[in-house]
């Protein structure tokens, strides 16, 4: 039965047509097909973000064809067959059909081919080994990709152990794709292969692992995938500090923030968080967010008053405060009203600047030096304790400089 993509604006957009026309002008009709995620997501009614194209043209031919059509060509991975075309300010990643010559668990040496089945055979999952022509007709060399996509089955192309040994990151990708597109129990053969080969993940770069982990945690509901990942020993291999406790389920119920989900997997211990972030080489923003939330947590409680909350907000910042509130909320899911009140306060409050400085002290006769810093710190402490009064600063500062005699 012929399957055809319908009602897909990206498929008929002028930029898409221009790129396909450029390739077919060089290689003839049918030399280029859409591949992977754009086809899969179109089939299952999910948004299409990136448009990838597979072609029988060699990389140099692709580059010339794109330029001949007046479009921009960027050789983003030409050794592996990839050229990025830019049309209408939109990138299209175009890759020559390939077969693996050798693999080492991280990288592959490839040879180019004109055989669509060979190209499909080297892909990870059957629902990703899908192609569609310019008219939207879908081709599935494995014979199972469409059915898998519609049923929510994440099944490796061919032998799962062979696919994993080619690239051990596919272990994490299995759980990530199950979180995003899977339904029901994970494929048993895939789980067994992941469990058996988990030690191979030590050969991967920390950046690849952390990136894949964050994509997994960004899924609408990663709970089932994370549970399977923990049961297979993969979570312990990737993040041995992590504990898949009820906090994680509660954090997922709060919403889709992967940073919060990662935070509740880790203990609220600054040193442990720093070590984990350094080992997995998280982006600086992610690392800092985890550390600052751990530092803020001891000062945050769901019963705190608005005045107490403003003091913590001032000292730790809105992001760390809000993350700490969300952890407390995960610890006490029935306290949602208190948590929402504090989160709303953090979203609406603007941190006021310290209303006095060294010049104000100089006018009171205090010379620059350590005493200036001590007095400003004492003023700030009292000002925070009084809930940031808007007036009376000169009098308070003067009292600190010349305290009244008893």
Distance of CA 61 to the CA centre of its chain: 34
State the average pLDDT over residues 99-104. 80
Distance of CA 159 to the CA centre of its chain: 29
DSSP 376-398: HHHHHHHHHHTT--SS-HHHHHH
Residues constituting the chain: 406
Write the burial class of residue 226 (CB in 10 Å: 0-12 exposed, 13-18 middle, 19+ buried).
Answer: buried
Is residue 108 within 8 A of residue 102, CB to CB? The reply is yes
Judged against a pLDDT cut of 70, whether residue 405 lies above it is answered with no
What is the distance between the alpha carbons of residues 154 and 131, in angstroms, rounded to a whole number?
17
Give the mean pLDDT of the chain.
95
- The pair phi, psi for residue 69, each rounded to 5°, is -85, 5
Q: Please tell me the distance from the alpha carbon of residue 38 to that of residue 93, in angstroms, as a whole number.
A: 12
Q: Which pLDDT score, from 0 to 100, does residue 316 have?
A: 97
Average pLDDT over residues 275-304: 96
Q: pLDDT tens digits, residue range 178-230?
A: 999 999 999 999 999 999 999 999 999 999 999 999 999 999 999 999 999 99
pLDDT of residue 67 exceeding 60: yes
Task: Answer whether residue 107 shows pLDDT above 80.
Answer: no
- Per DSSP, 392 falls in state -
Percent of the chain with pLDDT over 70: 99
Helix (H) or strand (E) holding 110: strand 108-112
pLDDT for residue 367 is more than 70: yes
Q: Which domains does the chain have, with CATH numbers?
A: 1-151 (3.30.460.10), 158-238 (1.10.3090.10), 241-351 (no CATH), 358-401 (no CATH)
Q: What are phi and psi of 107, to 5 degrees?
A: -125, 160
Region 396-401: what's the mean pLDDT?
A: 90
Average pLDDT score over residue span 105-122: 89
Residue 102 has a pLDDT of 75
Position 404 scores a pLDDT of 62
Can you tell me the distance from the alpha carbon of 108 to that of 97, in angstroms, rounded to the nearest whole number? Answer: 14
How would residue 100 be classed by pLDDT, with cut points 50, 70 and 90?
confident
Query: Which 8-state DSSP code applies to residue 80?
Result: G
pLDDT band with cut points at 50, 70 and 90 for residue 79: confident
> Looking at the predicted structure, is the pLDDT value of residue 406 above 70?
no
């Amino acid at each position: 039965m012929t399957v055809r993509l319908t009602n897909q604006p990206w498929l008929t957009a002028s930029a898409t047509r221009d790129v396909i026309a450029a390739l077919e002008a060089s290689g003839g009709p049918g030399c280029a097909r859409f591949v992977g995620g754009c086809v899969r997501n179109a089939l299952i009614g999910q948004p299409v973000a990136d448009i990838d194209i597979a072609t029988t043209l060699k990389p140099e031919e692709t580059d010339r064809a794109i330029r001949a059509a007046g479009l921009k060509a960027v050789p983003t991975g030409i050794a592996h067959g990839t050229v990025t075309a830019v049309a209408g300010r939109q990138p299209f990643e175009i890759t020559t059909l390939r077969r693996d010559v050798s693999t080492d668990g991280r990288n592959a040496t490839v040879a180019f081919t004109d055989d669509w089945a060979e190209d499909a055979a080297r892909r990870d999952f059957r629902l990703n080994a899908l192609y569609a022509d310019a008219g939207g007709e879908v081709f599935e060399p494995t014979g199972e990709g469409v059915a898998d996509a519609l049923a929510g089955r994440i099944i490796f192309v061919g032998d799962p152990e062979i696919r994993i040994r080619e690239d051990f990151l596919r272990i994490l990708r299995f759980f990530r794709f199950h979180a995003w597109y899977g339904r029901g129990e994970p494929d048993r053969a895939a789980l067994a292969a992941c469990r058996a080969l988990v030690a191979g993940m030590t050969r991967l770069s920390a950046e690849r692992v952390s990136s894949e982990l964050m994509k997994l945690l960004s899924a609408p509901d990663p709970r089932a995938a994370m549970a399977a990942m923990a049961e297979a020993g993969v979570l312990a291999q990737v993040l041995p500090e992590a504990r898949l406790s009820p906090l994680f389920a509660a954090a997922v119920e709060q919403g889709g923030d992967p940073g919060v989900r990662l935070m509740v997997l880790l203990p609220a211990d600054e040193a442990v968080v720093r070590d984990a972030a350094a080992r997995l080489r998280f982006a600086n923003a992610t690392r800092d967010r985890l550390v600052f939330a751990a530092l803020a947590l001891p000062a945050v409680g769901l019963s705190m008053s608005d005045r107490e909350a403003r003091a913590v907000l001032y000292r730790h910042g809105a992001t760390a405060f809000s993350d700490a509130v969300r952890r407390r909320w995960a610890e006490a899911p029935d306290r949602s009203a208190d948590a929402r009140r504090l989160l709303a306060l953090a979203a609406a409050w603007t941190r006021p600047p310290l209303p006095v400085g060294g010049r104000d002290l100089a006018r009171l006769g205090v010379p620059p030096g350590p005493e200036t810093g001590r007095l400003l710190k004492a003023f700030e402490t009292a000002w925070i304790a009084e809930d940031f009064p808007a007036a009376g600063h000169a009098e308070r500062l003067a009292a600190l400089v010349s305290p009244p005699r008893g």
